[in-house]
Structures are given as C-alpha cells and as structure tokens.
Amino acid sequence: MPDVQKLLDDYLNYLEIEKNRSIKTRENYKRYLDAFINFSKIKTEKDISAEKVRDFRLHLARVETPKGENLKKTTQSYYIIALRNFLKYLIKRDFDVLSPDKIELPRIPGRQIEIIEYPDLERLLAAPNGSDLRSLRDKAILETLFSTGLRISELCSLNRRFDINRGELTVRGKGGKLRVVFLSERSKKAIKNYLDKRFDTEEALFISLTKSKKPKVIARIIPRTIQRIVDFYSRKAGITKKVHPHTIRHLFATDLLIGGADLRSVQELLGHASISTTQIYTHLTNKELREVHRAFHGRRRE
C-alpha cells in the first residue's frame, strides 16, 4: 500500500501535467493538503476519515493568522476543496477512500464586489496626462485594463509584437486556457502613443522604469507595479474608494452587461471556467434592471 505522500506527489503531478494547472496552483494544493495530512497524522489513504476531516475543519475555524485574525471562510474552503479533489482523484484510480460527497463545503457569504461610478472611472483613465514615457505607459495600462478586462498577471505577460490595428490580443489565462480579448480605439491610440516613445528592445509590452528624470527600462512590469499605478492615479483622480486593478476588471464586466451583452459572452471575455463565477456581476446591474421595470412594467394598468 503506497503511503499518502507518494499519492500526493502523484496527484500534484497529475494536476500540473494532465490538468494543465499552473505551478502556483500546484504549490497551493500542496500547502492545503500537507496541512491536513500533518494535522491529522495521515499515513495512508485509509486514514482519511470523516471524523478526521471534521477535526481539521474545527482546527481551521479556530486557527489564527500572524495578525491574530481567524481564517476567512473563503480561505477555509480552499483547504476543503483541495481535499475533496484529492479524494476524487484517488477514487478515479480505484482506491477505496472516503467519498468526497460526504465532505460539505463551508458556507460562505455571497461575494460582494465594490465598483466605482462611471464618472470616477473616466477621471481615473484621464489622470495620466503627461507626454513622457512613464505617463504614456500608465495611460496605456489603464486603457488596456478597461478595454480587455484582463487579470493583472495576464496584462504583465503581454508582448509588444502584435497587430495593433487589428486590435486583438491572444492571452493565456488560468489553467493555460487561451482566449481573445479586444482593444478599444482609445486603448489602441494610448498603446501607439506609448510605443512610439519606446526605443528599447525589451519584448514586453509593459515595462518597469527607473525613477530617474530620464527613466530607463528595467524589465517586464510586475503585478505590484500595476497595483501601485492604479492606486496612484485613483488618488490623483480624487476617488475616495480604494481602487485595485481587479476593480477595473469588474467595471469592464458590468459595463458590458449594462450595455446589453449576454452572460455567456462576458464569461468568455473574462476567461471564467464557470458561468457561476460570472453571475456575481449580475447583482451590480440591478439598478439598471430596476429602471427597465419601472419604465415598462404594468403600463396597461395605468
């Protein structure tokens, strides 16, 4: 009978090679499953019992972070999802183990998304108004984020060699899945202005710059720099809410839905594996639906 560490290694290899999950996903799953195995003193797959799972869940509910806070319900669910998927894998390989259906996921509150008003968005996009390389880069970044709804990691991975006039970009999203996103006329213009100012040979579309008066290219831009750029210009635009790069992704999705796009199309543009993930945006359009209801419902009764 193989020990559980050997089975875990096999499962992690399966995730990476056959399921085409990222190295980061593999690392996360290893951390979640190691935590369960070590806490529950699991030696073989037969040791995984409903009682040990309950004890581990109680442990997760009571454990404190370095800041002295309890783990969020969402974080707790990651551990349980990883364990359920591990058990599904073992069953697929004909091991007689605890049924994953007997492990319920923690109930978590509905995901709440905060967005900013459209006038705030326009001020944010207009905030980088200089003609220097840094301002032009930042303008292109903000316009591209809103035009495409890209995740921050996807934006950082873009290369500069593409047909900008066609206005299409192929990106590799979560799980290595390829999708096409589209550039608006404003984002194409912003990128052209920015690239016209570039004289380096770096293949990355967006690059990090030194802080000198005549900035030099360092390398491909990193997510932390994008976060700082968005935060800086949101404050410059006088926006009181905290704005993150993902906030602009949310605005991209809600703008499409309010404009009349169907949910399946928005799912494809965002690169969501499940439409249930995309549905979190529908409550944000309730205001628009309320106006439709008010304008058109019950008019024959007036």
Among residues 151, 194, 233, 250, the one annotated as catalytic is 151
CB of 141 closer than 8 Å to CB of 229? yes
Give the helix ranges, DSSP H, for the chain.
4-17, 23-40, 50-62, 73-92, 118-126, 133-148, 152-156, 185-196, 223-236, 245-258, 263-270, 275-278, 286-296
Max CA pair span of the chain? 76
Give the DSSP letter of residue 103.
Answer: S
Catalytic-labelled residue, pool 11, 29, 194, 281: 281
249 is catalytic: yes
DSSP string, 112-128: P-----HHHHHHHHHS-
**Residue 225 tokens, joined:** 């720099």
Phi, psi of 58 (to 5 degrees): -65, -40
Contact 37, 12 (CB under 8 A): no
Question: Strand pairing partners for 70?
Answer: 64
Give the 3-state secondary structure of residue 197. coil
281 catalytically annotated: yes
Catalytic residue chosen out of the listed positions 30, 160, 174, 198: 174
- Strand, coil or helix: 217: strand
Q: Among the options 26, 57, 249, 250, which is catalytic? A: 249
- Count CB-CB contacts under 10 A for residue 160: 16
Q: Let me know: does 208 contact 222? Beta carbons within 8 Å.
A: yes
| Long-range pairs, 196-199, Cβ under 8 A, ≥24 | 197/132, 197/133, 197/136, 198/133, 198/160
Q: What positions carry a catalytic annotation?
A: 151, 174, 246, 249, 272, 281
